[in-house]
Structure 1
Amino acid sequence: MSSQKLQNVAIVGAGGQVGKPTLQALLDTKRFNITVVTRESSSTKFPSDSSITVKSANYDSHDSIVSALKDNEALILMLNFEAMGQVQLQIIDAAADAGVKWILPTEFGADSANQGLVDMVPINAMRTEPRKRIEEAAKTHPGLSWIGVVNNPWFEYSLKGGFFGIDFKNKAATFYDEGTTRFNTTLIGTVGLAVARLLSLPIEATSGPSLSKYANKFIYISSFHTTQREILEAVQKATNTTDSDWTVKKASAQAWIDEGNEKVAKGDFSGMINLLYGAVMKEGLGGDFEATRGTSNEVLGLPKEDMVEVIKKIVEA
């Protein structure tokens, strides 16, 4: 069977937190013709490279988006929260009409195949409709498929923000329940690398991995399979501190989640942090997808990371 590979890839959101390293990872493969699609009002600058073409589009105009996406085989959508809804659906509709065959919708987070997580966290629920839209479009656009990348919280973003309950600047930690719940978390750069490696797979293959084997499915990646306590131990090693230097307390994961629900109900969306991370750090809710789904780290040739060394770079930045 053919070992043909993709050549023409478009990305929307290439200037964002995950988009930047993804664009760089695509460039590093030295095999893709890359179309960076931006809003007409965007002033974002991108690397100057002969393999990159920047096209602006009016996201409210179907024809404008179709024109920007024409001749691309795959589309990566790395949209911010405000664009995850209707804007994403409009881009998907246009991608189908432009002849795109592979769409990576804005997932890049929790396991959307876990219905409990979808029901619990509003932002997770927002990811369902784009996949349904792609499947509906495939009825009139044969060969159109989606692949969802699942990576759980971004490690460096979460540690810097204190979202793991560990504040390295003030040497304070809060363990939810006992801090021993195991979960997956991924470096932002590794997410970008995984996307580039995924799209570099052959479209079809008689044996071994291929894009087609992931059609309308999720692919799971992870840098660390860890716990709060293990992260604190790594932070202490990276900062040459010990328990005596830290203030550590315990709290109920469920109470933290309940607090988040109350905030969101009142229109305070900072409570979304409680829900996103509570879902990861409360036993049995699905943060440990590696235990049930496994990962495709080996298939994609992802590196094994040293948490202490990673944290040293974060702390020193």
Structure 2
Amino acid sequence: MSPYSNVALIGASISTSRGGGNLGQSILKALLASRFNVTVLSRAESTTKFDPTVKLSRQDALVLAVGSASLDFQKEIIDIAVEVGVKRIIPSEFGSDLTNEATLKAVPVYQQKVDIMEYLKKAVASHPQTTWTSIVSGPFYDWALCGPPAFPAGKYKNQYIFISEYTICQNDIFAAVQQATGTTVSDWKVEHCDAEALRKKGYERVEKEDFYGLYDLIFAAHFQAGHGAEFSTIRKLENKAIRLEGEGESLLDCTKRVLSEI
């Protein structure tokens, strides 16, 4: 029997302005499907409706899925969690390999997440009853989780784990879109962009306070060699250990589903 029965989730709000992130709702569904006792913590002004099976209880684990506007808020929650003896904290990472220095140089705003991780490590060091796990997944192809993975409670204490369902380039995505829509290259207007040029464009936009330039920085980093996005080729993946292998959709099936929802 898993020592983790009661799980708290922060960031399940649909609205990123209320602290939620892109993944909170999907994480909540996965936790409920796995029959954990789930507590959702949200700010008083949040109007998000949650499944009635969600209930308050003493917490064994804490999952943080907050959006970028609420990253620093994690420090307050971490302080409380270690004081009350939460066994495992999973911070709001779920993305790029932030142990890769090239990634941090390419996307400086990631430094805030690194600072949170350092804060968490120090908090856990002085409260050994609490441990942490940081999940490096790369970008989510459809911005959603595929299903409820089994998470071995005795493993992954105080370490990063790497998972990846696809290691693809934009040409792979384009090919999947063509196959899903029954089109060919001639049906599309294709523009090629150098990743380094996109990165510079992103910096210029951010300097002009056009913060959509952050997306340029992130996309450039993910599609530029040496910036950590290809971690599946150099890191040990834990897909099999947490039963992710064979659980998700193929790239084509996922593409078809996403297109049907647009």
CA contact (8 A) 1:14 1:36 kept: yes
Q: Select the residue among 188, 193, 204 that pairs with 2:148.
A: 193
| 1:150 and 2:160 correspond | no
Amino acid at match of 2:48: T
Q: How far off its partner does 1:4 sit?
A: 4.6
**TM-score where L is the length of structure 1:** 0.75
**Letter of the aligned partner of 2:6 in structure 1?**
N
**1:134 Cα deviation (Å)?**
1.8
Structure 1 equivalent of residue 100 of structure 2 = 114
Could you list the per-position Cα deviations for residues 52-108 of structure 1 after superposition, in whole angstroms to 9, with x for gaps in the alignment? 215xxxxxxxxxxxxxxx7211100000111012x1111111111121121111101
Q: Which residue of 2 aligns with 1:53?
A: 55
Q: Quick check: 2:13–2:46 contact (8 Å CA) kept in 1? A: no
Total equivalences in the alignment: 252
Letter in 1 for 2:71: M
Which structure's residues are more often strand, by fraction?
1
- Return structure 1 stretches of 4+ with deviation > 3 angstroms: none
Q: CA distance change for structure 1 residues 222 and 83 in 2, over 3 Å: closer, same or farther?
A: same
SS of the residue corresponding to residue 102 of structure 2 reads helix
Residue 179 of structure 1 corresponds to none
Contact 1:134 1:144 in 2 (8 A): no
1:258 counterpart SS class: helix
1:306 correspondence with 2:261: no
CA deviations over 1:183-218 (Å, ceiling 9, x no partner): xxxxx223x634xx22xx142xxxxxx2xxx12211
Q: Please tell me whether the aligned partners of residues 106 and 199 of structure 2 are also in contact (alpha carbons under 8 angstroms).
A: no
Q: CA deviation at 1:120?
A: 2.2
Match of 1:29 among 26, 34, 46: 34
Give aligned-pair identity as a percent.
33
Out of 82, 88, 97, the position equivalent to 2:69 is 82
Separation in structure 1 between the aligned mates of residue 116 and residue 129 of structure 2, nearest angstrom: 17
RMSD: 1.7
Please say if 1:233 is aligned against 2:175: yes
How big is the shift at 1:225?
A: 1.3
Contact 1:6-1:74 within 8 A present in 2 as well: yes
Report deviation, 1:139.
Answer: 3.5
- Residue aligning to 1:255: 197
- In structure 2, the CA distance between the partners of 1:235 and 1:40, relative to structure 1 (3 Å rule), is same
Supply the distance in 1 between the matched residues of 2:10 and 2:64 (Cα, whole angstroms): 5
Is there any run of 5+ residues in structure 1 with no aligned partner, and where?
Answer: 55-69, 158-187, 204-209
Aligned residues of 1:11 and 1:34 also touching (Cα < 8 A): yes
Q: After superposing the two structures, state which structure 1 stretch, 103-112 or 144-153, moved more.
A: 144-153
Instruction: Give the structure 2 partner of residue 174 of structure 1.
Output: none
Q: CA deviation at 1:140?
A: 2.9
Whole-Å Cα distance in 2 between the matches of residues 101 and 11 of structure 1? Answer: 14
Distance in 2 of aligned mates of 1:254 and 1:79: 29
1:13 counterpart letter in structure 2 = G
- Does residue 1:297 correspond to 2:239, yes or no? yes
| 1:19 and 2:24 are equivalent in the alignment | yes
Q: Which residue of 2 aligns with 1:60?
A: none
Secondary structure of the equivalent of 1:300?
A: coil
**TM-score, length-scaled by structure 2:** 0.90
Shift of 1:133: 1.5
Match of 1:41 among 45, 52, 55: 45
Q: Does 1:134 align with 2:120?
A: yes
2: CA distance, partners of 1:224 / 1:285: 17
Question: What is the letter of the counterpart of residue 81 of structure 1?
Answer: S
Show CA shifts across 1:239-292 (max 9, x none). Answer: 000111112222211011011111112222111011111001112222101011
Query: Unpaired segments of 5 or more residues in structure 2?
Result: 15-21
Distance verdict in 2 for CA 1:221–1:255, change over 3 Å: same
- Quick one: which amino acid aligns to residue 18 of structure 1? L
CA distance in 1, matches of 2:242, 2:12: 21
Aligned CA distance change for structure 1 residues 315 and 42 (closer, same or farther; 3 Å):
same
Letter aligned with residue 87 of structure 2: K
